[in-house]
Structure 1
Amino acid sequence: MAARRLGCPVAVLVTAALLVAGCGRGGSSEEPGAVESGAPGAGPFFGECGSITDEEVAEAVGVPNFAGVVRNSVGCEWQTSPDQDRNAPHFSFSWYRGSPIGRERAGSEMIGRPAADIEIGGHPGFESSLSSRLCELGVEFGDDFVHWSISYGKTDPTADPCVAARHLAELTVARGQ
């Protein structure tokens, strides 16, 4: 009798799991790797590197060749120095899920980079810079935000870092799903 009582809830759980698995989005137009969180306040899906190509980054920052591109689950970094020299130009995109943008903004301000309010694609954000060599820009999506950092290190900039960051952020926001 105990085996029979245990079997019924297990069968119900297995059936429920199969039903839930069958309720995902379908169709051939779906982007590979797209994730729908369904969580309240969750922002759109941005794709690898904010859906920005290496060529688009190179064009925006005015640097034609990268010595390395690091890609991981939270973002990408384009490096001009093979040994990751922070004095050389480097550029990054990060996507923060369930993290407050205010903490990133406060961090920029704490280290001497005053932040200004911005809006991109109807979404609030901030931009902070340090001289003409560094600019950081964040755009908020509910409980998520994306962040672009453009740093020329100690080399002469080949583009205005805030103009480059804004252009890349506009592309990212426009391509969010």
Structure 2
Amino acid sequence: MRRMTSAIVTGTAIAALLTACGSGGDSTSDTSSMRPPMKVAALGPFVGECGGVTDDEVRDIGGLGQISAEYKNSVGCNWQATGLDGASVTFASYRGSPLGREKAWVTAQGRNPETIDVGGHAGFQDATPDGSICDLAVQLGDDFFEWSTSSGLFGTANATPCDKNRKLAELTVQRLK
């Protein structure tokens, strides 16, 4: 019985090795060469923490009044106005991520992004039909950044919600490093 178990284990190991070695046919065709080479994204300019915009500038431009909470990490920032479900402003930076993917996502949500230019950089902006949320994204080489504003659950919608984001995006572009 011990010899039979040993033979089965050895046979299984040999079969696994032969299978791993190839198909036994002409090995000059390499399926990995059929795939295009991976693109290495070139880093765009550094946008600085929170897009290089201060808390006071966000509060004033975003119309937040008193800021009750803020969250900051290496890729984004969020400021919340006081009050239950108050207005908010969000900044996010995306390294090596195509702006077209973000625009396609917005379009898939049934929205119609408008092509814009901020300081010589292409981008898009889009507001929800009720004007309660606006997203504005700007391409920087293989990177992009995005400003987003929300009037909050009980806030009043702004007739021009993207104007705030436009001012914030202009400051970010002016302060690129």
Shared fold (TM-score, shorter chain, > 0.5)? yes
CA apart distance, 1:158? 6.0
Question: Per the alignment, in what secondary structure is the counterpart of residue 41 of structure 1?
Answer: coil
Q: Relative to structure 1, is the Cα distance of residues 57 and 170 closer, same or farther in structure 2, using a 3 angstrom cutoff?
A: same
CA apart distance, 1:40? 5.8
1:7 counterpart residue number: none
Per-residue CA deviation, residues 80-125 of structure 1 (Å, 9 max, x unaligned), is 257xx6x431110001000011111111111122101000111100
2:72 counterpart residue number: 71
2:12 counterpart residue number: none
Give the whole-Å Cα distance in 1 for the aligned partners of 2:116 and 2:167.
Answer: 13
1:88 counterpart residue number: 86
Q: Following TM superposition, where does structure 1 have runs of at least 4 consecutive aligned residues deviating by more than 6 angstroms?
A: none
Unaligned residue ranges in structure 1 (runs of 5+): 1-38
Give the whole-Å Cα distance in 1 for the aligned partners of 2:65 and 2:82.
Answer: 13
1:139 counterpart residue number: 138
Give the whole-Å Cα distance in 2 for the aligned partners of 1:101 and 1:62.
Answer: 27
Per-residue CA deviation, residues 62-90 of structure 1 (Å, 9 max, x unaligned), is 122111110001010001257xx6x4311
1:22 counterpart residue number: none
1:164 counterpart residue number: 164
1:22-171 matched pairs, under 5 angstroms: 41-81=42-82, 87-130=85-128, 131-154=130-153, 155-157=155-157, 160-171=160-171
Give the whole-Å Cα distance in 2 for the aligned partners of 1:172 and 1:159.
Answer: 23
State the structure with more CA Rg. Answer: 2
Question: Per the alignment, in what secondary structure is the counterpart of residue 67 of structure 1?
Answer: strand
8 Å Cα contact 1:135-1:162 kept in structure 2: yes
Per-residue CA deviation, residues 109-163 of structure 1 (Å, 9 max, x unaligned), is 1112210100011110000111221110000011100100011123114673200
Per-residue CA deviation, residues 153-176 of structure 1 (Å, 9 max, x unaligned), is 231146732000000000001101
8 Å Cα contact 1:62-1:158 kept in structure 2: no
Question: Per the alignment, in what secondary structure is the counterpart of residue 46 of structure 1?
Answer: coil
2:22 counterpart residue number: none
Question: Per the alignment, in what secondary structure is the counterpart of residue 99 of structure 1?
Answer: coil
User: What TM-score results when the alignment is normalised by the length of structure 2?
Assistant: 0.71
Percent identity reads 43
Question: Per the alignment, in what secondary structure is the counterpart of residue 98 of structure 1?
Answer: coil
Give the whole-Å Cα distance in 1 for the aligned partners of 2:110 and 2:152.
Answer: 16
8 Å Cα contact 1:70-1:77 kept in structure 2: yes
Unaligned residue ranges in structure 2 (runs of 5+): 1-39
Give the whole-Å Cα distance in 1 for the aligned partners of 2:57 and 2:141.
Answer: 27
